[in-house]
Chain A
Amino acid sequence: MGRGLSRALAVAANTFRETVRERVLYNLVFFAILMTLAGLLLGQLSIRQDEKILKDIGLAAMDLFGVLIAVFIGTGLVSKEIERRSLYPLLAKPLSRSEFFLGKFAGLGFTLLVNLSVMLLGLLLTLGATGRRPDVGLLTAVYPLFLGLLLVVAFAMLFSTLTSSTLAAVLTVGVVVVGRFADVIRGMREVLPGVPQQLTKALFAVVPNFANFDFKSQVAYGEAVSAGILAWVTLYAAAWTLIVLGLGLASFRSRDFQ
């Protein structure tokens, strides 16, 4: 293993440990409670109906908790280190700024992966425990959701290199909200002809379409997501994440730490 990769992995491992020690994974407890309550309450409904609702609730909760972690932990990943000056002793070592930045990204990415995996397992167990078929097809909804969360983390890190963690969180939430309604923005001119076309075009160009990562309803209804679509979503996520992460890295590398 290259030395640079080994150092980035050390940063990633420490970032994961930080999220665990700072009790970020406590959201799993809420998820467990939510699943238990949903399972109990939906026992009265017909099998077909409650299976869909259970999957819907489970996937929506994964999405919500994932976005909250990606935004609020993501924006603190770099800015907290700068504000507390904890990166000073580290950057004076053979650790490059790129290794530090990418290690942080990988660390939070791993936290999100663990988080989603445990929640998915919880959903499958709830389905099994309430007499429904544990549907492995749920993975086809969770995988794109994970890719979308990685992109959210990349935005959070980019903004946190430019401004305070609070403003970075606001900006990241803004990108997520606009990105989720990208299709609405695209059609905005048809509803509101007064909106300048340049504005909608510009917004559409700088904000990814987060709806591309959303297969929750489709999967909840038992519809399959093809491998081709998943491959396209992977490429879409990779392109956006690389661009946003690259911008964040460029900004971080050019910073002075006064």
Chain B
Amino acid sequence: MPQPEAGPAVGASREPVLVTKGLSKSYRTGHIIQGRRPALQDLDLELHRGEILGYVGPNGSGKTTTLKLLTGLLRPDRGEATILGEPLASRAWRMRAGYLPENPYLYDYLTPAEYLDYVGRLFGLAREKRRERSRELLALVGLERSAGLPMRRFSKGMLQRAGLAQALVNDPELLFLDEPMSGLDPIGRRLVRDLIRGLRKAGKTVLFSTHILADAEALCDRVAVLRAGRLVKVGPLGELLRLDVTHMEVLASGVAAGTPGLEAAARIDAVGDRSRLEIDEHSLGRVVNAIEAAGGRVLGVQPVRRTLEDYFVEEMGGAVAGGSRREDRVGEWGEG
């Protein structure tokens, strides 16, 4: 399981680069009898320079709506936001920000190099600078060998990486990433994770939405939790998860559920000759002795901490799927 990165982000400060106050949005529903469905309600959020904030919540909780409001694709019903010291409606801050939409569709008749050149023109970059930037970014996202291919021949993962490259053309101070790991294979996910870590090292500020909790755990300084359009919790991961060890996990061979001395195990899952035992910290010595006394072998011992996924299942289970089984609810949260 990925662990949160230790230590503060390089260049992290208390300087707010994004402040929202009471930001709200509702969508019209129905054609004949019209109503309104609230998508985001009274969002008060602060993002500080140099930090990575994970924006997490179930599908339909308002993550994408928030990012669309911040990037001007939607207009808020009420509330306000300041981005990089400028009001939301101003265009000036856009010169210093980048945005990756969810499942980006980039013009498939263009090559990634052409697309980046086009985006560079929108930022007013000179031709030589655009070329240089395009080369750098394609190398950064691992697409340098596909620079001349039309994007209609790209896989979903390649498109996602090209999308990330376009978000970085202007070397932004602030990045909005909507589900940046969506649709990526393990190698692609690793690449994007490393890229986001690199951005943090470079002092960039990142707000990224995800439903893959492992990604949020691996990357974020703080997490903002959204449910049904409302911000329910925001804070450092450690504070949110209370990073104490909840139990120990012992992997052993040559023992079974009935082995004397293993009654202390809260749960034993056997697969072939191997068993995985969940025990509390204080019973560790007793259980290890019992395994050895029964002729078994301890293959590994691992402390288990509360994960973000556990947090959701325990704190917000009702909102997730309405399912009662723990496995069902974990599954809803995706691939983490």
Task: Identify the A interface with B (CB < 8 A).
Answer: 3, 6-7, 10, 14, 17-18, 21-22, 84-86, 88-96, 256-258
- CB neighbours (8 Å) of B170 from chain A are 93
Interface bits B87-108 vs A (CB < 8 Å: 1, else 0): 0000100110101110111110
Task: From the candidates A18, A89, A93, name the one contacting B123 in the complex (CB within 8 A).
Answer: A93
**Chain B residues in 8 Å Cβ range of A93:** 94, 99, 119, 122-123, 170
Q: Which residues of B have CB within 8 Å of A94? A: 91, 94-95, 122-124
B134 at the interface (CB under 8 A from A): no
Give 19 A-B contacts (CB < 8 Å), ordered by A residue: A10-B121, A14-B110, A17-B110, A85-B105, A86-B105, A88-B71, A89-B100, A89-B104, A89-B119, A92-B72, A92-B97, A92-B99, A92-B176, A93-B94, A93-B123, A94-B94, A94-B123, A257-B73, A258-B68
Q: How far is the CA of A100 from the CA of B140 in the complex (A)?
A: 29
A92 and B107 within 8 A (CB) = no
B48 within 8 A of A: no
B114 (CB) vs chain A CBs: closest residue: A17
Tell whether B311 is near chain A: CB-to-CB under 8 Å: no
CA distance A99 to B269 in the complex (A): 62
CB within 8 Å for A92 and B105 given contacts A7-B122, A257-B73: no
B156 within 8 A of A: no
A185 to chain B minimum Cβ distance, whole angstroms, is 32
The answer to whether the Cβ of B163 comes within 8 Å of any Cβ in the partner chain is yes
Is the Cβ of A256 less than 8 Å from the Cβ of B75? yes
User: Closest CB of chain B to A255's CB: distance in Å?
Assistant: 9
* A227–chain B nearest beta-carbon distance, Å: 38
Question: Which single residue of chain B is at the shortest CB-CB distance from A95?
Answer: B122
Given contacts A3-B124, A10-B121, contact A92 B91 (CB under 8 A): no
For the complex of A and B, 10 pairs with smallest distance between CB atoms: A92-B99, A92-B71, A10-B121, A21-B109, A88-B101, A257-B73, A94-B94, A84-B105, A86-B105, A93-B122
CB within 8 A of B27: which of A10, A14, A258?
A: A258
Residue of B nearest to A257 (CB): B73
Tell me how far the C-beta of B103 lies from the nearest C-beta in chain A, rounded to whole angstroms. 8
Determine if B73 and A88 form an interchain contact, defined as CB atoms under 8 angstroms apart.
yes
Q: Which residues of A contact B124 (CB under 8 A)?
A: 3, 6-7, 94
A89-B166, A94-B124 provided; 13 other pairs, C-beta below 8 A?
A: A7-B121, A10-B118, A22-B109, A86-B105, A88-B104, A89-B99, A89-B163, A89-B167, A90-B122, A92-B97, A93-B99, A94-B91, A257-B68
